[in-house]
Amino acid sequence: MNSHDGPGRWIGASLLRKEDRRHLLGASTFVADVRIPGMQDIAFARSQLAHARVVSIEKPQGFENKVYTLADLGEIRCLDAGPELATFRTVPYPPLAGDRVRFVGQTVAACIAPTRAEAEDIAQEVLLTGENLPVVIDAVEAIKPGGATLFDGWQDNAFIHATIADGDIASVANAPIQMRRQFKMNRQATAPLETRGVVAYWDERLDELVVYSSTQGPHLMRFGIAQTLGLPEHKVRVIAPDVGGGFGGKNRLMPEEIAVAAIAMKCGHPVRWIEDRREHLIASVHARDHYYDFTLYAENTGRVLGLKGELFVDAGAYSLWPSGPYMESSMAARNLPGPYRIEHLHVETHTVATNKTPLGPYRGVARPGACFAIERAMDELAHELGMDPVELRRINLVRATDMPYHTIGGLILDTGDYPGALEAVVDMVDLPAIRARQKQGESDGRRIGVGFAVYTEQSGHGTIEWTKRKSRVVPGYESATVRMLPDGTVHIMVGILNHGQGLETSLAQVAAHELGIDPSQISIRHGDTNATPFGFGTFASRSIVFSGGAVARASSILADKLRKIGAHLLQSPVESVTLRDGAVHAGAASIPISEIARAGNIRPEMLPTDVAPGLEITATYEPPDSGGVFSYGVHAAVVAADPDTGVVEILQYAVAEDCGTMINPMIVDGQIIGGIAQGIGTALYEESPYDPSGEPLATTFGDYMMPCAPEIPRIDIRHFVSPAHNTLHGVKGMGEGGAIAPPATIANALSDAFRDIGAKFAETPMTPRRVSEAVARARGDAV
Amino acid sequence: MTVTHLTINGETISQDINPRESLADFLRERRNLTGTHLGCEHGACGACTVSLDGMVVRSCVVLAVMCEGRKIETIEGTRKSEPMDVIRRHFHEKHALQCGFCTPGMLMMARDIIARYPEPSDSVIRSQLSGQICRCTGYAGIIAAIESAAREIRDAVE
C-alpha cells in the first residue's frame, strides 16, 4: 500500500501507520493500563440534585479518612475560565462541590479504596443533603428578566451577551424576500471509546507530582494543575500515554483531574480514577446545544443579501478552563454566513448558564450548528423561490476568483474552488438520475431525497486569531526537538498529542522529507511534559500545520548541518552537496548519514572547525499570517425515509473536499470518513436530553445511540488540492471537517424527500420520532 | 471469595475470586491482561470482547466465577497465531484503526466473523459488527480489512 514513488518522496505517500503495531497486539498503554505499585482507586460521589444549596455532605461511618470533600483538598485556586472580556462573567468551578451544586453529576466527594468496586461502595453511601433551588433548563427562558439564576448577583443567566455584526443590516430592511426560520442542534456527548482517566502520585526520586491523564494537551494541563494546586510548575509532570480518542472532549482542565492530583499529594500512595460510561455521559463535556432564530434577506433572484437574528448557546453550569463556552457562540455566529457572498450580518449571541453539564469543544466546534442553520436556510429559501437548492448555491457561493475572500463574519477564505466542489458532488451522486427515480416513486412506500451542504474549516490559526478571540491561552505556535543519535536514527519530540490522528506517521514523513532518510528511522515522541518541548496539544485541526511546520523547520536546520559536516568529510564545497537517500552526495562520492551522525555526536575531532558538536535542534513554528487557512468541502447525501416510521437510511454519501497538500492521503481519507460517521451520529442518533427537573436522560449506550457499522454508509471521496500559500508544504488542517456538514446534508436530503408536502426538519438528531412527526405535521395529521 | 479454576491463554490457574468481579476486571486487574479494554462496562460497545470456550463474549458482563473449568482467550493469547496475524496485517493495510482503543475487541470479533462466514458480504460484516463501536474510523477500514482477510484465509485453505 505504500504508494510513494521511491525514496525521498514522503510528502504525499500513503505510508502505513507506525503506531498500529502496539494496538493490534493489544499491547498499548492507556491510562487504565498504567500500573503503579500501591495504587488505589478513586470513585466520585456525584450530585443527584440539579440545583441545590449544599446543607451537608455526610461521610459514611468508618470511612471518614477515605472520603475527601472540598475542605479536605487543601488550598485550591479555581482558575478564571473563558475569554478575557469584561462582559464575560467568570465563576469558580471547584473540583468538588462547595456551597452549591449546579448539575446532576457534579463531583461532590472522592472516595478511596483498594479496588474501584469498593470505592464505589463507599461513594454510594456518601449523603449529600441539599436545599433545592429552582432548576434552569431552557436557555431561551433563562435570560428573561426575573427568572431564577444559577449564580448570585447575576441579572440573568448569560455568561455573556455579545453581538457579532458587520456591514449594514438596516440597508436590506426592504429586501423583497425576508424569510425567518428557527433551527436547533441539540446537546450531545463527545464519547471517545476510551473514557477519561487519571493516575497520580508523588515521585520521591524526582520530587515531583506525576499525573497520567487521558488528555489532548499535557503541557497546558500541567500549567493548569500547577496553578490550581499552587505548585511550581517544575514540580508537576503530566503524561498522556495512549489516548483512546478525544475529539475535543479531553481538552479542558476538569474537576476530576484536579481532585485526583490534590488527593495524591495528601494520601501517601498512588491513586487512580477511571471514568465509567455513565459518568462520561453525564459529567464529561457536553457539546453543541445551539438554538438559532434568524431572518435571511434576499433578492427574488435568490441572491442572499443579509442575515439577522439571534443565537442561544446552552453552555451548562460552569465555564471550563481555559477557553470557556463563548468560543462556541462567537465561532458559530462568525460562521453563520457560511461560504456565501453575504454582505450584511447582525447576530445577537447569548451564551447561557443552565443546570446541565458544562459545554466544551467537540469535533467541528460551533460549525456543525452554524452549517446546519445556514445550509438548511439556503434550502428553505430555494424552496420558497421554487429553485433547485444547487442552483441557489451556485448563485451565492464564494468563487475561486474571489479568493482571498473576507466573509462578513470576519474570516478570510484563502484558497479553493467552492463551486467546483459543488459540481463534483452533483456529479458523484448523479443528480439527474435521482430526480428521475424520485418521479417514479419507490415500491416500498419510502421517499427518496438528496441533500447538499457546503462547509469551511478554519485551521492553522495562531496568535492573531486567538488574540482576537481574547483567549486566556494563545496557542500561537508549536515546537519540535529533532535529535539525531550517533547511528543516524532520529528521535523527534513534539508538544502535540497524537490520539488517533496518525501523527506518529505523518510527522515522521515530514521529517524524512527534510532529512533524506526513511521514516522507519524516525521515532516521534509526544505526551510527556518531561520529555517534550512545550506545546499546546492537538485540537482545532492545528497539528499538521503547527507541529508539522516545527518538525519541518527543525529538521531543515539539522539537514543544513548534516550537509555541512558531510561536505567537510567529502572534502567538497557545501554548495556542491545534496542530502538524499540516507547520504550526503558530492558528484559520484557519498557518505552515509550514519557516518555523519557518528562524527556529529561522538567524534567531534572529525568536524569542521566552524561546526559545533551535537545534532539536536529545537525550533518553533507559526504560519506567517496567523489568521488561519481554510479547508472546505461539499457533502451530498441520498436518503430513503419511511414516512410512517420515520426511519432514515442513507443510500449514498459523497464528499468533494480540499485540504491543500496531503502529507498522507490514506490518513486524510480516514479522518474524513471518521468525521462523517460522527456527523451522522449528530444528524440521526446522538442526543443528551434533560427532563424539566434537570435529570439527564441519556446515561448508557442503551439510550445514547452511537452509530455502528450498519448505520454508516460507504463514503465516496473526491479530492481537490489547492495548497495553502501560507503554510509549509501548503498543508491545511482537516481533522474536523468531516463532522461539520452531515447534519445539514442529511436534513436537506430529508427536506428534499418531503418537499411536496413541506415537512420541516429543523432539529437534530432526526430520530424516527422527529421524522415521522414532521411528516405527520406537514400532512395535517395529529402528532 | 470463591476458588475458581480456569484456563487463560493456555495456562490453567486457580484463584480466589470475589463473586461480583467481572471477567474483564479479573483479567485486567488480577491477571494484568490489559489488552482487553473497557469502553462502556454494560455490554454495549464490544471493546472487551474475548473468547470463552471458543465463543465471543463481552467480558464486562460475564462474572469471572462463572468461568469455572472454562477456557478464555484474550488478545494477548493471539499474539503469535494464525489467522489473527493475517487479520492484523489487513487491519494495518486497510487503515482499520485510529486511536486503537476498540481494536482488540474488533480483532476478536473479526476472527469470529471470518470463522462463521468464510465469505462474508459487506452487509454480513456490517450486521455482525453491529455490537462493536468504533468512534474513530467510520468502520470503512474495518469492513474492508475483514473482507480482504477472509479472502486471504479462504484462499490459503483452498
Where among B19, B49, B77 does a domain terminate?
Answer: B77
**CATH number of this structure's domain A34-133+193-245+250-283:** 3.30.365.10
- Write the DSSP string, A539-604: -TT-HHHHHHHHHHHHHHHHHHHHHHHHHHHHTS-GGG-EEETTEEEETTEEEEHHHHHHHHHH-G
**B147 and B103 inside one domain:** yes
Q: What is the C-alpha separation between A360 and A248, in angstroms, rounded?
A: 7
Q: What is the C-alpha separation between B130 and B127, in angstroms, rounded?
A: 5
- How far does CA A296 lie from the centroid of its chain? 29
- Smallest CA–CA distance, residue B69 to chain A, in Å, is 25
pLDDT at B124 exceeding the cut of 80: yes
DSSP code, position A398: P
**B114 and B66 inside one domain:** no
Asked if A192 is an interface residue toward chain B (Cβ–Cβ < 8 A), one would say yes
Q: Which residues 63-122 of A are in CB contact (within 8 Å) with B?
A: 115-117
Contacts of B35 in chain A (CB under 8 A): 25-27
Map residue A302 onto helix, strand or coil. coil
pLDDT tens digits, residue range B37-93?
Answer: 999 999 999 999 999 999 999 999 999 999 999 999 999 999 989 899 999 999 999
> pLDDT averaged over consecutive 10-residue blocks of chain A (783 residues)?
51 98 98 98 98 98 98 96 95 96 98 98 98 98 95 96 98 98 98 98 98 98 98 98 98 98 97 98 98 98 98 98 96 98 98 98 98 98 97 98 97 97 98 97 97 96 91 95 98 97 98 97 98 96 96 98 98 97 97 98 97 98 92 98 98 98 98 98 98 98 98 98 95 97 98 97 98 97 81
Contacts of B99 in chain A (CB under 8 A): 192-194, 242-245, 499-500
Asked if A677 is an interface residue toward chain B (Cβ–Cβ < 8 A), one would say yes
Q: Which of B49, B99, B125 to mutate to test the interface with A (most CBs of A within 10 A)?
A: B99
Q: How many residues does chain B have?
A: 158
Those residues with Cβ within 8 angstroms of residue B56's Cβ, 6 or more apart along the chain or in another chain: B49, B50, B108, B109, B112
Closest chain B residue by Cα to residue A714 = B140
Verify whether the Cβ–Cβ distance A32 to B28 is below 8 Å.
yes
C-alpha cell at A237: 509532570
Contacts of B147 in chain A (CB under 8 A): none
Verify whether the Cβ–Cβ distance B138 to A708 is below 8 Å.
no
Neighbours of A8 (CB within 10 A): 16
**B110 and B146 inside one domain:** yes
**B12 and B31 inside one domain:** yes
Q: Which residues 79-118 of B are in CB contact (within 8 Å) with A?
A: 79, 88, 91-93, 95, 97-104, 107
- How far does CA A127 lie from the centroid of its chain? 37
Verify whether the Cβ–Cβ distance B40 to A701 is below 8 Å.
yes
CATH topology of domain A20-28+477-621: Aldehyde Oxidoreductase; domain 4 (3.30.365)
Q: Which of B1, B135, B143, B146 to mutate to test the interface with A (most CBs of A within 10 A)?
A: B135
pLDDT at B8 exceeding the cut of 70: yes
pTM for the full model?
0.97
pLDDT score, position A7: 44
Q: Which of B20, B35, B134 sits opposite A27 (nearest CB)?
A: B35
Those residues with Cβ within 8 angstroms of residue A123's Cβ, 6 or more apart along the chain or in another chain: A43, A44, A45, A109, A111
C-alpha cell at A217: 494537551
Indicate the helix (H) or strand (E) that contains A297. strand A286-298
Asked if A19 is an interface residue toward chain B (Cβ–Cβ < 8 A), one would say yes
Nearest in space to A72 (alpha carbons), one of A259, A321, A239: A259
Contacts of B130 in chain A (CB under 8 A): 708-710
Contacts of B77 in chain A (CB under 8 A): none
- Smallest CA–CA distance, residue A249 to chain B, in Å, is 13
Neighbours of A148 (CB within 10 A): 13
**B9 and B55 inside one domain:** yes
Where among B77, B96, B129 does a domain terminate?
Answer: B77
The CATH number fitting domain A286-463+625-779, selected from 1.10.3720.10, 3.40.50.620, 3.40.720.10, 3.30.365.10: 3.30.365.10
What CATH number is given to the structural domain containing B66?
3.10.20.30
Q: Which of A19, A500, A710 sits opposite B130 (nearest CB)?
A: A710
Same topology for domains A34-133+193-245+250-283 and A286-463+625-779, yes or no? yes
What CATH number is given to the structural domain containing B135?
1.10.150.120
pLDDT score, position A8: 53
How many domains, chain B? 2
**B73 and B89 inside one domain:** no
Q: Which of A25, A499, A701 sits opposite B99 (nearest CB)?
A: A499
Strand partners, B73: B51
Asked if A277 is an interface residue toward chain B (Cβ–Cβ < 8 A), one would say yes
**B99 and B151 inside one domain:** yes
Q: Which of B41, B100, B102 sits opposite A277 (nearest CB)?
A: B41
**B23 and B67 inside one domain:** yes
In this prediction the ipTM stands at 0.98
Where among B54, B77, B100 does a domain terminate?
Answer: B77
Verify whether the Cβ–Cβ distance A192 to B99 is below 8 Å.
yes
Map residue B19 onto helix, strand or coil. coil
Q: What is the C-alpha separation between A439 and A136, in angstroms, rounded?
A: 48
DSSP code, position A250: T
pLDDT score, position A160: 98
**CB contact at 8 A, A416 and A403:** yes
Those residues with Cβ within 8 angstroms of residue A146's Cβ, 6 or more apart along the chain or in another chain: none
**CB contact at 8 A, A292 and A309:** yes
Asked if A279 is an interface residue toward chain B (Cβ–Cβ < 8 A), one would say no
Q: What is the C-alpha separation between A207 and A201, in angstroms, rounded?
A: 11
Q: What is the C-alpha separation between A42 and A276, in angstroms, rounded?
A: 12
Plot region of A365 (φ>0 → left; ψ -120 to 50 → alpha; else → beta): left
Buried b (16+ CB within 10 A) or exposed e, A631-654: bbbbbbbbbbbbbeebebebbbbb
pLDDT score, position B157: 82
**CB contact at 8 A, A301 and A395:** yes
Contacts of B37 in chain A (CB under 8 A): 30, 32, 193-194, 244
Buried b (16+ CB within 10 A) or exposed e, B117-135: eeebeeebbbebbebbbbb
Residue-number span of the structural domain to which B143 is assigned: 84-157
**CB contact at 8 A, A23 and B142:** no
**Domain-by-domain residue ranges, chain A?**
20-28+477-621, 34-133+193-245+250-283, 286-463+625-779
Q: What is the C-alpha separation between A88 and A108, in angstroms, rounded?
A: 27
- Smallest CA–CA distance, residue B158 to chain A, in Å, is 25
- How far does CA A473 lie from the centroid of its chain? 17
Those residues with Cβ within 8 angstroms of residue A575's Cβ, 6 or more apart along the chain or in another chain: none
**B69 and B29 inside one domain:** yes
**B54 and B34 inside one domain:** yes
**B12 and B60 inside one domain:** yes
Verify whether the Cβ–Cβ distance A26 to B79 is below 8 Å.
yes
**CB contact at 8 A, B26 and B62:** no
Q: Which residues 47-86 of B are in CB contact (within 8 Å) with A?
A: 47, 74-76, 78-79
**CB contact at 8 A, A231 and A209:** yes
Q: What is the C-alpha separation between A29 and A232, in angstroms, rounded?
A: 28
A–B CB contacts, 8 A cutoff, strictly below: 169
Nearest in space to B39 (alpha carbons), one of B105, B95, B87, B88: B105
